[in-house]
């Protein structure tokens, strides 16, 4: 009798059974399933792991290497409790008056759980909402005492823990990774003198010169407010309308339309501090400095068609790439370099070093490498670390200082301010990921979510009741660089800020042929999405001040009847630029170490494939550090020609070729026949070829290429056709993959 208490019987006659499994303790000796062994793990992919395991930090050791025994939660072997620590007997059913009766208000367990859930989301970042992060360390190459007293640069080999977050700018938190966009490159150094945040981007310049324009810029690029479109894209009217009226953005737009905006991996892009900062040594002498991060793997990018397709195939492409590399022990690494110069030098430059739309060409001031950064641990928890980390340009340490860059000035205010609403109050610095390793002592008190429990009755300084503590550090503390200032208060810009085109031209002229073509294509694509003809006209008018060939090519692609007049220049007598060509501005300047480590290579398989050749090739590539996947018409087992069984890791549908850097088509008549009749396999090959990637076809494998329409007669270093999977074929293929891409193949329109 449901709902009626019968003496000696539980209200639910099945209750004992219900408690049985649900409330069971794990059997003695049971361990949690290893999360790393994903469903994709197969014999091949297991062998594919480099053998090193992603360094999981020892229990109780935080991001920054500090002790965090209280906050690192781990439920292994524990019973569920409420937030008050009360053990919960049943986490599956709410408390009801009768099994079919109403739920009860006094069910504090249900209410606590649902209330917490209701508030699980915090506002996303207003910009850079989509991001991925990792822990690691910075290691100093040599003592820099002559330049700076910053403690992280105090001696050769000194290591400082870091937490680094990469991001896109415009898209929302759940948007795709491969949008055309700037990438954030934010580094938090937990130095022994406090936290230093170098909050940079993967491009060395910015859209605007003054913080006053930032809200306008962001409003223009974000989805248009009336209908909320487009997501994570700059190809729309409001963005280009704003840009066409802001000639100071021209240099940045060249970077944004270049391959830099569609990086192959976070691990393969540069980072820049953008603004000019100051190094200050112990004597108080200052130098100007620009910061550069250069990736060990070299700088590589996607092509646009590929980036578009990846956003459907794997919107988490860059997040996954970073995570998997670190789990596999392939720790991403960058070298930190600085350009150091003094005020007198800076005054001679044709541009203003306080203007964030300008670089200091490496030809004027070479880059000096000062250390390396290695990312060697994935976060334990995305929200607690990657989401709650709060970077701030105002976080600097003794030995560093700002300059009067008016863009930087606004940032120094903005980053702390935004955390107050994003992280819910002024105590976000106490969140474990944000807390410095250096001890914190001051008289700031209270506020929402205070963690520290301050002792004593003194919360002011000077005091005598606490013996004057905590006391002022004096010259041992942060001392602002005493820059002399005497001027009228006014709104406006310094003289050299008026020149907007010299460095845009320098950038364009320094690109290789195919990089220039990609810039033309990007402008053409973006402007084709603009619906108002006047906006297109103004952009082409702007481009005429950068490069006549660029302007003409874009105008032709847009079917413009003629070229508009060049946009009027603001600067009457612009100084001549010092540098007309800078090799460092091309991605080709940093090809990496010439290896194929972590490159993803597909080996195409089907029933009847030459299994031995397939596995031999796979093993040889794995031996070189590549990540190999057997990709078939379906995942799981298939039968190779000699009867042995192969286990496919992926299928054409779950892993199209945009997710790979290269592919191998092994021999095997029956397999090739099946693949030639499979549209997905043909599309796989066509995309791979169109995107400039390397292909190795063995024996009958070449028929699949022919069937896909790949022009085999053209000379192409990225196509390796071999009779057998011997050493020479493999060597040429590995060399081809190490080149990353074969842009010689690009034609307009594409042949395939």
Residues near ligand HDE (CB under 6 A): 125-128, 131, 165, 167, 184, 186, 199-201, 206, 211, 214, 274, 356, 390-391, 407, 410-411, 414-415, 418
β-strands 194-201, 183-191: how paired?
A: antiparallel
Secondary structure of residue 506 in the 3-state scheme: helix
CB-CB contact of 707 with 680 (8 Å): no
Q: Is 415 annotated as a binding residue?
A: yes
Torsion angle of alpha carbons 627, 633, 634, 638, nearest 10°? -90
In terms of CB distance, is 277 or 507 closer to ligand HDE?
277
User: Smallest distance from the beta carbon of 185 to ligand HDE, in angstroms?
Assistant: 6
User: Smallest distance from the beta carbon of 204 to ligand HDE, in angstroms?
Assistant: 9
Triad 464, 466, 470: Cα angle to 5°? 105
In terms of CB distance, is 433 or 641 closer to ligand HDE?
433
User: Smallest distance from the beta carbon of 486 to ligand HDE, in angstroms?
Assistant: 25
User: Smallest distance from the beta carbon of 40 to ligand HDE, in angstroms?
Assistant: 29
Map 371-412 to HEC letters.
EEEEEEECCCCHHHHHHCCCCCCCCCCCCEECCCCHHHHHHH
Q: If we measure between CA atoms, which residue out of 522, 562, 526 comes closest to residue 237?
A: 526
Residue 647 backbone dihedrals phi, psi, to 5 degrees: -115, 105
Q: How many CA atoms lie within 13 A of 127 on its CB side?
A: 22
In terms of CB distance, is 154 or 199 closer to ligand HDE?
199
In terms of CB distance, is 426 or 575 closer to ligand HDE?
426
Q: Is 411 annotated as a binding residue?
A: yes
Catalytic residue among 48, 62, 195, 201: 201
Q: Which two tokens stand for residue 577?
A: 């630029």
CB-CB contact of 445 with 454 (8 Å): yes
CB-CB contact of 94 with 103 (8 Å): yes
Q: Is 377 annotated as a binding residue?
A: no
Q: How far is 82 from 623, CA to CA, in rounded Å?
A: 50
CB-CB contact of 420 with 150 (8 Å): no
In terms of CB distance, is 191 or 414 closer to ligand HDE?
414
Distances (CA, A) of 495 to 22, 229, 239, 542, 717: 73, 38, 27, 20, 50
In terms of CB distance, is 131 or 656 closer to ligand HDE?
131
Secondary structure of residue 318 in the 3-state scheme: helix
SS3 content of the chain, % helix, strand, coil (to 5): 30, 15, 55
Q: Is 264 annotated as a binding residue?
A: no
- Per the DSSP assignment, residues forming a β-bridge with 371 are 140, 336
b/e per residue 651-689 (b: at least 16 CB within 10 A): ebeebbbbbbbbbbbbbbeebbbbbbebeebbebbbbbb
CB-CB contact of 261 with 232 (8 Å): no
Q: How far is 79 from 25, CA to CA, in rounded Å?
A: 8
Q: How many CA atoms lie within 13 A of 234 on its CB side?
A: 27
Q: Is 267 annotated as a binding residue?
A: no
Task: Tell me how crowded residue 43 is: count the other CB atoms within 10 A of its CB.
Answer: 12
Clarify whether 251 is annotated catalytic: no
Q: How far is 305 from 308, CA to CA, in rounded Å?
A: 5
CB-CB contact of 681 with 76 (8 Å): no
In terms of CB distance, is 186 or 535 closer to ligand HDE?
186
Q: Which two tokens stand for residue 739?
A: 């080149």
CB-CB contact of 541 with 566 (8 Å): yes
Clarify whether 740 is annotated catalytic: no
Helices then strands (H, E): number in the chain?
A: 19, 18
In terms of CB distance, is 47 or 121 closer to ligand HDE?
121
Catalytic residue among 48, 62, 128, 691: 128
In terms of CB distance, is 179 or 720 closer to ligand HDE?
179
Q: Is 137 annotated as a binding residue?
A: no
User: Smallest distance from the beta carbon of 138 to ligand HDE, in angstroms?
Assistant: 17
Tell me the binding residues: 125, 165, 214, 411, 415, 422
Tell me the binding residues for heme: 125, 165, 214, 411, 415, 422
Q: Which residues are catalytic?
A: 128, 201
């Amino acid at each position: 009798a449901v709902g009626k208490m019968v003496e000696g019987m539980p209200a639910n006659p099945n209750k004992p059974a219900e408690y049985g499994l649900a409330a069971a303790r794990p059997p003695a000796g049971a361990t949690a399933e290893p999360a790393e062994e994903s469903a994709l793990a197969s014999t091949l992919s297991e062998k594919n792991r480099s053998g090193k395991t992603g360094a999981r930090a020892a229990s109780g050791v935080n991001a920054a290497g500090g002790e965090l025994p209280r906050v690192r939660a781990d439920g292994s072997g524990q019973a569920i409790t409420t937030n008050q620590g009360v053990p919960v007997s049943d986490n599956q059913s709410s408390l009801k008056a009768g099994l079919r009766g109403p739920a009860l208000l006094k069910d504090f367990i249900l209410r606590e759980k649902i209330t917490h859930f209701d508030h699980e989301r915090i506002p996303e970042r207003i910009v850079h909402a989509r991001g991925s992060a990792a822990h690691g360390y910075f290691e100093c190459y040599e003592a820099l005492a002559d330049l700076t007293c910053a403690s992280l640069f105090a001696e050769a080999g000194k290591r400082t823990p870091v937490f680094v977050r990469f991001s896109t700018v415009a898209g929302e938190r759940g948007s795709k990774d491969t949008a055309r966009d700037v990438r954030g490159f934010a580094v938090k150094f937990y130095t022994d003198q406090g936290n230093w945040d170098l909050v940079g981007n993967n491009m060395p310049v910015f859209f605007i010169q003054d913080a006053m324009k930032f809200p306008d810029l962001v409003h223009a690029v974000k989805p248009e407010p009336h209908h909320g479109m487009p997501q994570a894209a700059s190809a729309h009217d409001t963005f280009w309308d704003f840009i066409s009226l802001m000639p100071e953005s021209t240099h940045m737009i060249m970077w944004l339309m270049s391959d830099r905006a569609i990086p192959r991996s976070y691990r393969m892009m540069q980072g820049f501090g953008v603004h000019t900062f100051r190094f200050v040594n112990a004597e108080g002498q200052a130098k100007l400095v620009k910061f550069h991060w250069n990736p060990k793997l070299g700088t590589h990018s996607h092509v646009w068609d590929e980036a578009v397709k990846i956003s459907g195939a794997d919107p988490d492409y860059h997040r996954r790439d970073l995570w998997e590399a670190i789990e596999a022990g392939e720790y991403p690494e960058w070298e930190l370099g600085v350009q150091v110069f003094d005020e007198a030098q800076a005054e001679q430059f044709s541009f203003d070093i306080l203007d964030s739309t300008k670089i200091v060409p490496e030809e004027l001031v070479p880059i000096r490498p000062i250390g390396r950064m290695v990312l060697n641990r994935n976060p334990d928890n995305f929200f607690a670390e990657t989401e709650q980390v709060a970077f701030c340009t105002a976080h600097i340490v003794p030995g560093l200082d700002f300059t009067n860059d008016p863009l930087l000035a606004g940032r120094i205010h903005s980053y702390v301010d935004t955390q107050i609403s994003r992280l819910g109050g002024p105590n976000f610095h106490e969140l474990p990921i944000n807390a410095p390793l250096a001890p914190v002592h001051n008289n700031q008190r209270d506020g929402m979510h205070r963690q520290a429990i301050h002792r004593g009755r003194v919360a002011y300084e000077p005091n005598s009741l606490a013996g004057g503590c905590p006391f002022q550090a004096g010259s041992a503390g942060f001392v602002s660089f005493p820059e002399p200032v005497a001027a009228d208060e006014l709104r406006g810009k310094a003289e050299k800020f008026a020149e907007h085109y010299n460095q845009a031209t320098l950038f364009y002229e320094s690109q290789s042929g195919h990089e220039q073509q990609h810039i033309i294509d990007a402008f053409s694509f973006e402007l084709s999405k603009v619906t108002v003809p006047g906006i297109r006209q103004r952009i082409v008018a702007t481009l005429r001040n950068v490069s006549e060939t660029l302007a003409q090519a874009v105008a032709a692609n847009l079917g413009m009847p003629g070229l508009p007049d060049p946009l009027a220049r603001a600067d009457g007598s612009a100084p001549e630029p010092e540098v007309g060509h800078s090799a460092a501005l091309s991605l080709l300047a940093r090809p990496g170490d010439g290896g194929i480590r972590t490159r993803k290579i597909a080996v195409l398989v089907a029933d009847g494939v030459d299994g031995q050749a397939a596995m031999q090739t796979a093993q040889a590539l794995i031996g070189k550090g590549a990540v190999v996947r057997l990709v078939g018409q379906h995942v799981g087992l298939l039968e190779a020609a000699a009867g042995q069984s192969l286990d496919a890791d992926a299928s054409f549908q779950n892993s199209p070729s945009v997710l790979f850097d290269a592919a191998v088509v092994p021999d095997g008549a029956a397999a090739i026949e099946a693949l030639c009749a499979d549209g997905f396999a043909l599309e796989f090959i066509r995309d791979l070829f169109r995107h400039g990637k390397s292909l190795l076809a063995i024996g009958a494998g070449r028929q699949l290429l022919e069937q896909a329409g790949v022009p085999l007669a053209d000379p192409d270093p990225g196509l390796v056709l071999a009779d057998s999977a011997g050493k020479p074929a493999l060597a040429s293929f590995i060399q081809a993959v190490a080149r990353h891409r074969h842009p010689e193949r690009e034609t307009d329109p594409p042949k395939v």
